[in-house]
Amino acid sequence: MNTIDLICLIVLVIYTIRGFVRGLIRQMVSAASFFIAVFAAYRYFAALAPIVKSYIPLPAFFHDTSYSTFINQLDFPMYFYNAIAFFLIFFSVRLAIVIVGSLLHFASKVPGIHIADQLLGALLAFAEMFLLMIVVFHVLIIVPSPKLQLLLKQSYASDFFLHHVSVLSQKLLDLWKMRNT
């Protein structure tokens, strides 16, 4: 067991405990709010960016003469305002959904429902982190770092997530191949 294995184990345990404490309803709301917020931000950031531009001036870094040509060629101001608009929408939508979810969470306090809510929340949190780790390991194997690659080769978790979770791993690899062709 190396450092990567230990980190994976700790993250899975912490995330599972967090899911147990939060319960199924809050865990589902959290997961759903992430995807809904990303969708809303992706769909509407371009409409909000001009409004953000009218209220937030560019940082002084963008006006520095030594970088101004480079910045203008890459259109960094546009990326700057788009990023701010994206994050404003993302966090606003996520916050609104989480607040509504907190209100729904009160319904789960009924004694018979409460323990089921907690156990299913732990299961959902574990599954969510498990899927995220599959993606993380598929990203890590393409990082050009000899030290990291050696750690990954020696890791039981890396071997498990890259080779033994074959169905999802193969689908991810197929998606990456389609993207690169």
pLDDT value for 67: 58
Domain count, the chain: 1
Model pTM score: 0.57
- Calculate the average pLDDT of the chain: 83
pLDDT value for 10: 94
- Taking the C-alpha atoms of 169, 27, 84 and 140 in order, what is their torsion angle to the nearest 10 degrees? -20
pLDDT value for 111: 79
Give the model's confidence band at 70: pLDDT under 50 very low, under 70 low, under 90 confident, else very high: low
> What CA–CA distance (Å, rounded) separates 16 from 19?
5
Whether the Cβ atoms of residue 62 and residue 106 lie closer than 8 Å to each other: no
Across the chain, the runs of DSSP E, i.e. the strands, are none
Quick check: 73 pLDDT over 90?
Answer: no
**Backbone dihedral region for residue 75 (phi beyond 0: left; psi -120 to 50: alpha; all else: beta):** left
Among 107, 142, 90, residue whose Cα is nearest residue 23: 107
CA 110 to chain centre: 32
> Could you list the residue range(s) of the whole structural domain that residue 55 is in?
3-180
Residue 76 makes CB contacts below 8 A (sequence gap 6+) with 62
> What CA–CA distance (Å, rounded) separates 122 from 66?
52
Quick check: 39 pLDDT over 70?
Answer: yes
pLDDT value for 126: 92
pLDDT tens digit string along 98-137?
Answer: 888 888 777 777 777 888 888 998 998 998 888 888 878 8
